[in-house]
Every structure is written in structure tokens, then in C-alpha cells.
Amino acid sequence: MRVLTRCAGLVAALALLLSCQPAQSDEPRALPAINVIPLPLSTTVGTGPGYLLTADTAIRTAPGTAPLADRLAEQLRRSTGLPLPVGPATGGIELRLDPAVEGEEGYRLAADEQGVVITANTEQGLYRGTQTLRQLLPPHIDAGAVVQVRWAVPPVTVTDRPRYPYRGALLDVARHFFTVAEVKAFVDRLALYKFNHLHLHLSDDQGWRITVPGHPELTGIGAATEVGGTPGGFYTDADYREIVRYAQERFLTVVPEIDLPGHTNAALTAHPELDCSGGPPPVPYTGTEVGFSALCPTDERSYAFTNDVITHLAALTPGPYLHIGGDEVKRLEPQQYEQFVRRVAAQVVAAGKIPVGWHETAPAAGAGQAGAGQAGPGQVGLLQYWRADQTATVPVQAAVGRGAKVLMSPAGRTYLDMKYQNGYRLGLRWAGYVDVLDTYGWDPDTFLPGLPPGSVLGVEPALWTETLSTVAELDLMLLPRLPALAEVGWSAQADRHWPEFRVRLAGQALRWEAAGFAFERRPSIPWR
């Protein structure tokens, strides 16, 4: 299988070279025949002409696949202008459920002159397959209006499933607020590259972004600002549900984070009684320092507050996880901190969710009695590792020994708010400069030494937004690094090769241009 995959890569590279003739300015340029990111498990290129979408093409459904087929049709109609009727009788593109296909997200895609068949054992698998189909079509398939090109799918057989079950991305909506429409735009980028979790960082020193019944001040006062002093914002229940729905439709699970007990200045402006630092009463903060705020660990009212927030958020969230933060707390004694995390984790478990925490919560992490990855009372079940180096390995190893799982977000590899290079206009640089090769050239299983196989649940890039306030700015940081991290999370480690990847990545530019996405032309990528 690996040989075939490598061959497919070579074919793609060759096709790219051959298509390098000067492009006519207003004519769509040709893409390599096979250019899929993340790299599928196995790809076999056929010899025939492939399948051409025409006015006669229909999308054929099987029991259980109609809603997905409707959405695929809707997406393809926009740029092809083809009618693409959906139904059980006719064909061209076919979506089939088959329990024999391996993996919850696995799928098979076969394209020849007769048509395209996508087979999976779940709707989720079928959806991932439709994103491969999208990438097999000319890049103008992502245009917002009708384009006249040959809508050809190359003859190919793809068998695919992901390396890791958890491939997420964090969006910080606290430092700068992003509207529901802007979050949906972020989800669109994630869906294209087969991510399956959306981590929303909903609270921080600079803003509180979600309504909680009985706490009108949280959104009245706590949500008013953002970094730089511009007006903030917040999500109503309906807004949040709409984000969840939109993400779910693309088979992404929303993981909400309320950062506790630090990063809580915005909450404390709404609830000054929960501050016991002895300093002046908290005021809205629009700077970018971290580590100065904490909920009072010795006041019972703090736990009544966290319980209100957690039960409400758990009720709004269909996914299994609730993230309680826990990072960069400088004001509490270690024992006080651990007790705080345990109490809040217990509230999360009582609300029916698995607590996730930044790796600082490791002393309070484990599996409890509920089995691996399932947190017991007072335990964080999933640790998100963010340090750029390995200095926090030991407590994480110990927590894994107690049954916790690890989500890898090492800052020097996955922090998409880091500058690409010295002098770059956007971003921070505390974890160093992060160029495309930094995001691609590592292995999540071995970044931390001494973790038993299976401890790493997945990978999660993070887009913190101290310096970012528009979708175009988010895009400049995401593209081209997000697809690199998609491949780190999805594709087999032994199949990943930078020289081949950078050629495929270059091909994505036509897609981003067609879709109107901003991206950064990093010199390490052979853009045309």
C-alpha cells in the first residue's frame, strides 16, 4: 500500500511539472491529476479517462445517505452550475454505506469513466470521502459562482482512514471576538482538510463570550471588550447552537473551553466578589499579558459559579468533551491549584462530559474508575500539551500511567499564531518562528518521550488571536500551515515526505484563490 501511495505522490509531482506551461491569464490553470491533502492511506491511479461531470450526472443515494448527498449536490452546483439531481435511481456519483469499510472515518472512493462511487461504513466516513472528491475535482470547484471548465475526476481508487481519532483546531474567540459567520468560515477550512473537532476558547482575561443563565453581567460587562479596546461580543444560546449545528453537519465536534481558574479577568469584572487577590477591583483588560488573574480558590461562591457555567455549557454541547483550561496560573499554590482543578473536573463529570485540561492539570488527570480516556470523578481525562519543548513530560507520563490520554499541541509545531519569520506583520514569537516545515516535520507519537503506544489521541493546532481580528488575517496564519497539520493528524507517518508534500501543497493555492481565501506565499513552497 505504501508503495502505491508513494507512486501516487510521484505521479502527482510529475503531473505538476508537466502542467507548468505558462498559464493564460484569465483561463483556469491545470492542477496535478491527484492532489489530495491529507495524503490518503492508499491511492491507485487508473488508466482510463476518468469521470466527467455533465448535465446528465446525478447523485445516487442509498438508504441513509440522502442528507449527505443533498449537501454534496448543493456544494457542487454552486461552481459547476450543473443540475445534479439527487435520488436513489440514477447515477454518476454514488454514496453507499457498507459495514465492510474499515474505520469510523474510513472510506473508499473509486472513479472511472462510468462514475464515482464513495463507500463508507458511517455517514462520517462518507463525508470525508466527499471532501476527497472535492479535491480531485478542478480547484474551481470551490469558487462561489459558476465557472466554465471540464469538471473531470481522474481515474483513481482511494482507500483511506485517519491515523488519529482526534484532529482538532482551536480558535480563540476571547482575545478577539469572531461572529457566527466568521466561525463558520473557520469551520469550512477545517472541513476541507478532514479535521473533526472545533475547540472554541470561549473565555479569557480580555473577554467572556457565552451567555450563562443567572449571570447577565458575564455578557453585559465581561463581553464588552477585546484586545486593543475594540468592542467585543458574545454568543447567545441560539448562536452557539448554530455553530454546533454547522460544525456537526461537517462532522466536527465542538469542544467548548472555559479557562479556569486563571485567564479569568473578564469573569472577575462581572463577579468582583470572586476575586480574593487583595488588589484593586478587576477592570476590563485589553492588553496581552497572561497569568495575572484567578478565581478565588477558597470561596465556595467560585464553585457555585463554575458549576452554573459548566452545567449550562454541557447542556448546550452534544459532544463528549468540556475543556476547563488550567494553563498559566501563577497565583495559586500547587496544592490549591490541584484541588481547584479536581473540584471543577468533578463538576464536568457530573454534567456528563469528559474534562479536558491544558497539561498543567496533569496532577489531577487520570482515568478514574471509568476506563481509559474516560475521566472518573475529579479527574481530567484528556491533557492538551502546549509547551514548545519537553519540559512538562514527567507529570504527563504519570497521568498517562493513571489512564489519561494526550492531545498534542506543542507550540513550536502547532501554534498558528506564531510568526512565520522575523518581522512578520502578524502573530507572536514566544515559541519561536513557525514555518511550514516546522508544522509538517514531526511525529506526535514521539514528541514526548516514554509514552506508551496509543496514549496520543490526536493533534490540535491553535489559533490564538491577540494579533488577529479578521478572517483574512486568520487565513494568512492558517494557510498554508493548517493543511500541513491536517496531514500530520491523518496520514501514516511513514508515508509523509516533505519534498513531495510541498509540491502537493503548492497545488492548493489555486483552490484558495478560487475560494477567495487569503494565504501566505511561503518561499519554502514551490508556488506557481
Burial 264-287 (b: 16+ CB within 10 A, else e): bbbbbbbbeebbeeeeeebebbee
The answer to whether 417 contacts ligand TNX (rule: CB under 6 A) is yes
**Which of 102-123 are b and which e, b meaning 16 or more Cβ less than 10 Å from the residue's Cβ?**
ebebbbbbbbbeebbbbbbbbe
Total residues interacting with ligand TNX, rule: CB under 6 A: 10
The x, y and z cell numbers of residue 448, run together, are 514526548
| Angstrom distance (rounded) from CA 510 to CA 528 | 9
By CB under 6 A, name the one of 127, 164, 386, 501 that touches ligand TNX.
386
Distances (CA, A) of 105 to 198, 245, 252, 329: 16, 19, 12, 37
In degrees, rounded to 5, the angle at the alpha carbon of residue 342 between the alpha carbons of residues 306 and 359 is 100
8 Å CB contact between 427 and 421? no
Question: Which residues, 90 to 149, sit near ligand TNX by CB under 6 A?
Answer: none
Residue closer to ligand TNX (CB basis): 112 or 460: 460
CA-wise closest residue to 268 among 204, 214, 313, 194? 204
Minimum separation from the CB atom of position 259 to ligand TNX (A): 8
Residue 319 or 410: which CB sits closer to ligand TNX? Answer: 410
328 catalytic residue (yes or no): yes
Query: Does the protein bind ligand TNX through residue 426 (CB under 6 A)?
Result: no
**Toward ligand TNX, which CB reaches closer, 189 or 263?**
263
415 binds ligand TNX per the rule CB under 6 A:
yes
Contact between 266 and 205 (Cβ < 8 Å): yes
Residue 464 in contact with ligand TNX, rule: CB under 6 A: yes
Pick between residue 316 and residue 428 the one whose CB is nearest to ligand TNX.
428
Of 182, 242, 249, 328, the catalytic one is 328
Confirm or reject binding of residue 180 to ligand TNX (CB under 6 A).
Answer: no
- DSSP secondary structure letters along 414-436: HBTTB-SSTT-SSSB-TT----H
Tell me the closest approach of the beta carbon of residue 290 to ligand TNX, in angstroms: 5
Q: Name residues contacting ligand TNX, limited to 347-366 (CB under 6 A).
A: 358
Q: Cβ 392 to ligand TNX, closest distance in Å? A: 11
Q: Which residue among 290, 370, 398, 518 contacts ligand TNX (CB under 6 A)?
A: 290
Cβ contact 472:411 at 8 Å: no
Strand, coil or helix: what is 177?
coil
- Asked if 257 contacts 200 with a C-beta cutoff of 8 angstroms, the reply is yes
Compare residues 428 and 437 and give the one whose CB is closer to ligand TNX.
428
Note whether 328 binds ligand TNX by CB under 6 A.
yes
Chosen residue from 428, 437, 492, 518 binding ligand TNX by CB under 6 A: 428
User: From the CB of 1, what's the least distance to ligand TNX, in Å?
Assistant: 37
- Choice between 338 and 417, CB closer to ligand TNX: 417
CA gap 224, 241 in Å, rounded: 21
Q: Which residues bind ligand TNX (CB under 6 A)?
A: 290, 327-328, 358, 386, 415, 417, 428, 464, 466
Q: Catalytic residue positions?
A: 328
